[in-house]
């Protein structure tokens, strides 16, 4: 069994992966920055899970997470930089500076910090793998109103590809791409109900619930930890296939 750390593991796809990893017998440490949410998840998960509060924009807090997990479980095999936030769907010039900063600090600085902490520890141990999470914008595609979010995810993909060329011996990095997952991030920031209704038509075709995607990603996060690995749930053939059958097969990933 592996020891896995998941940042942003108290909700959404992160929590889904945590549950799947624990169900498979892995040792798991996770963090979130909302202390109330951390306490609720700690009470929900099995007692052997390490659940703690940490802000990924602060490298010292992530170092504490690494040290605490190492003290409890020993060497860390997998580190997943999953923590991420979005913002209201507005043009860049209408987005408040504090909102822009928050997205950058979590989605990009958080991944830089997590990668630095994990790679340092893994280099000392002589083994380990870091996964970074892709999202909208990773492939260069832009969506109006989500430029800041997309820029951070594009940067994470570049960062991971570049790290793969210079990681220490025995250590590796890769990308996890969950596709469209039904979480708060997917529907966040729609101020116009008509825009959300239009988006829902696409979501109903391409999106999947956390309970479907998270176990699939969790299994591959452990089994496909190779340098430069790129694990994609929503592949191009799958997208084409879903649009092809959409007129015949109605999907409701939201379950409502």
Which of the four pLDDT bands, split at 50, 70 and 90, describes residue 191?
Answer: low
Cβ neighbour number for residue 93 with a 10 Å cutoff: 5
Write the CATH number for 12.
3.40.50.720
Residue 244 lies in a domain: no
Q: What is the spatial distance between Cα 61 and Cα 67, in angstroms, rounded to a whole number?
A: 10
Residue 16 pLDDT exceeds 70: yes
Which of the four pLDDT bands, split at 50, 70 and 90, describes residue 68?
Answer: very high
Domain that holds residue 215: 3-181+210-235
What pLDDT is stored for residue 255 in this prediction? 75
What pLDDT is stored for residue 254 in this prediction? 81
Residue 249 pLDDT exceeds 90: no
Catalytic sites, residue numbers: 149
Q: What is the spatial distance between Cα 116 and Cα 159, in angstroms, rounded to a whole number?
A: 12
Residue 101 lies in a domain: yes
Q: What is the spatial distance between Cα 229 and Cα 175, in angstroms, rounded to a whole number?
A: 6
Choose between 217 and 180: higher pLDDT: 217
Share of the chain above pLDDT 70, in %: 96
Structurally, the chain folds into a number of domains equal to: 1
Residue 62 lies in a domain: yes
Residue 196 lies in a domain: no
Q: Would you give the DSSP letter of residue 167?
A: P
Q: What is the spatial distance between Cα 147 and Cα 151, in angstroms, rounded to a whole number?
A: 6
Which of the four pLDDT bands, split at 50, 70 and 90, describes residue 37?
Answer: very high
What integer is the mean pLDDT of 178-184?
86
Q: What is the spatial distance between Cα 52 and Cα 57, in angstroms, rounded to a whole number?
A: 15
Residue 199 pLDDT exceeds 80: no
Cα dihedral: 127, 130, 131, 134 (round 10): -150
Cα dihedral: 242, 223, 43, 181 (round 10): -20
Nearest to 217 by CA among 94, 99, 80, 124: 80
The DSSP string of 102-158 is HHHIIIIIHHHHHHHHHHHHHHHHT-EEEEEE--TTTTS---TT-HHHHHHHHHHHH
Residue 256 lies in a domain: no
Which of the four pLDDT bands, split at 50, 70 and 90, describes residue 158?
Answer: very high
Reported as type and span, the H/E element at residue 197 is helix 193-206
Residue 45 lies in a domain: yes
Residue 197 lies in a domain: no
Q: Using one digit for the tens of pLDDT, what is the confidence trace for 49-66?
A: 999 999 999 999 999 999
Residue 190 lies in a domain: no
What pLDDT is stored for residue 256 in this prediction? 59
Residue 159 pLDDT exceeds 70: yes
């Amino acid at each position: 069994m592996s020891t896995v750390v998941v940042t942003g593991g108290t909700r959404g796809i992160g929590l889904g992966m945590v549950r799947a990893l624990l169900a498979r017998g892995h040792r798991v440490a996770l963090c979130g920055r909302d202390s109330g949410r951390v306490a609720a998840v700690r009470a929900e998960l099995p007692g052997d899970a390490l659940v703690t509060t940490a802000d990924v924009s602060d490298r010292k807090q992530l170092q504490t997470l690494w040290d605490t997990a190492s003290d409890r479980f020993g060497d860390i095999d997998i580190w997943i930089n999953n923590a991420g936030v979005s913002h209201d769907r507005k043009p860049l010039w209408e987005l408040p500076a504090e909102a822009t900063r928050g997205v950058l600090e979590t989605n990009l600085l958080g991944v830089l910090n997590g990668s630095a902490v994990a790679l340092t520890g893994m280099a000392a141990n002589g083994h380990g793998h870091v996964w970074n999470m892709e999202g909208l914008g990773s492939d260069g595609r832009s969506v109006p109103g989500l430029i800041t979010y997309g820029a951070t995810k594009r940067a994470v993909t570049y960062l991971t590809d570049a790290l793969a060329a210079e990681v220490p011996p025995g250590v590796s990095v890769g990308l996890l791409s969950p596709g469209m997952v039904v979480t708060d991030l997917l529907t966040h920031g729609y101020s116009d109900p008509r825009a959300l209704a239009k988006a829902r038509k696409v979501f109903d075709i391409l999106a999947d619930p956390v309970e479907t995607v998270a176990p699939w990603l969790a299994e591959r996060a452990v089994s496909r930890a190779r340098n430069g690995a790129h694990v994609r749930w929503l592949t191009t053939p799958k997208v084409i296939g879903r649009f092809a059958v959409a007129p015949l097969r109605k999907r409701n990933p939201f379950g409502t």
